[in-house]
Amino acid sequence: MDRDQQGLSRLAPVPVRDIWRHEAHDFTLWLLENADVLGEALGMDLELSEAERRVGGFALDLIGTDVATNTVVIVENQLEQTDHSHLGQLLTYAGGTDPSTVVWCAPSFREEHRAALDWLNERTDEDTRFFGVEIAAVRIDDSQPAPLFRIVAKPNDWSKQVHTERTAVTLSPKSLAYQEFWRELLGRIRTEHPTWTRSTAAPTQSWITLPYGTSWIWYGMTFTLTGPRVELYFGGPDADTNLAEFERFTAHKHLLDEEFGPTIRYDALPGKKACRIHIDRLSGDVLDTDSHEDLIAWFTSTMEKFRAVTQHIKSLLEAEQRSGEGATPSSLPSALGSHGSAEGA
């Protein structure tokens, strides 16, 4: 053991291949379940929703969302030193997913690849960011290994921007009320439904999003002008794709109608890019702190039922796609009666 005179040990590097032997099967799947490690390195509240996302004839390692801005994040991984092939893949995936944040993870970066990321940050608009992240593992004495991520390429003003966003914003009373409400609600979700989201940051806007299973469709909990709303939002960059998936989904709308009756709405939002399916409550003000407990109960119970049905429909659509023929819509399995079996979907 390497200790000094005060008994303090030293961090010892562990080869990444000793921890993650296979990039796709080990590292990518580990990162999907531990997005907070990468998010902490990047300085963002990161949720990764899907591995091996198809982009044309290729497979993107990971796609997800910057929760604070609700923008797309893509991640390309290597377990070897960076190479030209992965740089090309990174740009191909960026062209097919329209991300705001592009992350390249590898144990070491060639100087020319680091320079390429710097060049992209200088030449692209301020809403597009490229990061290089060196991945490593360390241990102390005989401890379990721990991941260690280090940013080696980033936008020039990123640290300043993150600091400004976190500390320099003067919040209105209503923004503070939203932040407190979402903090309470996320606490309830972490206790009762920990698989719904990994997010812990309470935003200051009137809505939060939860993963659905693809990066361009998500669940929303929001305060509208008329009151609270739970929704499924089809918000990808292509309007035709959003509408097509919305129509595939509403082909099974009778399952939602059986659960929610006349309270559910199906909005194709003509003339707009997105579509939504939602349930509204016609009263509820975030500034009324005495009603927070009641509103949190409504959000969680409504989302519990809504997720159960929509995740079942998602499974039907995936089965249809695999079989290449229309599946006959069926009633919800009895196991969903308690609204618990969709938790791991």
Q: What span, in angstroms and rounded, lies between the C-alpha atoms of 26 and 209?
A: 28
Residue-wise burial string across 168-198, b where 16 or more C-beta atoms lie within 10 A, e elsewhere: eeeeeeebebbbebbebbbeebeeebeebbb
User: What digits encode the pLDDT tens for the residues 281-297?
Assistant: 989 999 999 999 999 99
User: What digits encode the pLDDT tens for the residues 310-322?
Assistant: 999 999 999 988 8
Pull the structure tokens for residue 184.
């309470």
User: What digits encode the pLDDT tens for the residues 177-235?
Assistant: 999 999 999 999 999 998 888 777 788 889 898 888 876 789 999 999 889 999 999 98
- The three-class DSSP label of residue 180 is helix
- 309 — pLDDT class (breaks 50, 70, 90): very high
Residue at token pair 């399916």: 277
Mean pLDDT of 54-73: 85
Q: Given a cut of 80, is residue 339 above it in pLDDT?
A: no
**Number of neighbouring beta carbons within 10 Å of residue 212:** 21
* DSSP β-bridge partners for residue 280: 229
At residue 136, the pLDDT reads 93
Q: Given a cut of 80, is residue 124 above it in pLDDT?
A: yes
User: What digits encode the pLDDT tens for the residues 234-274?
Assistant: 988 788 999 999 999 999 999 999 999 999 999 999 888 89
Give the predicted TM-score (pTM) of the model.
Answer: 0.56
Pull the structure tokens for residue 58.
């290729």
Mean pLDDT of 34-55: 87
By the 8 A CB rule, do 240 and 212 touch?
no
- 337 — pLDDT class (breaks 50, 70, 90): very low
Domains of the chain: 11-160 (3.40.1350.10), 173-338 (3.30.1460)
By the 8 A CB rule, do 277 and 264 touch?
yes
Alpha-carbon Rg for the chain in angstroms: 22
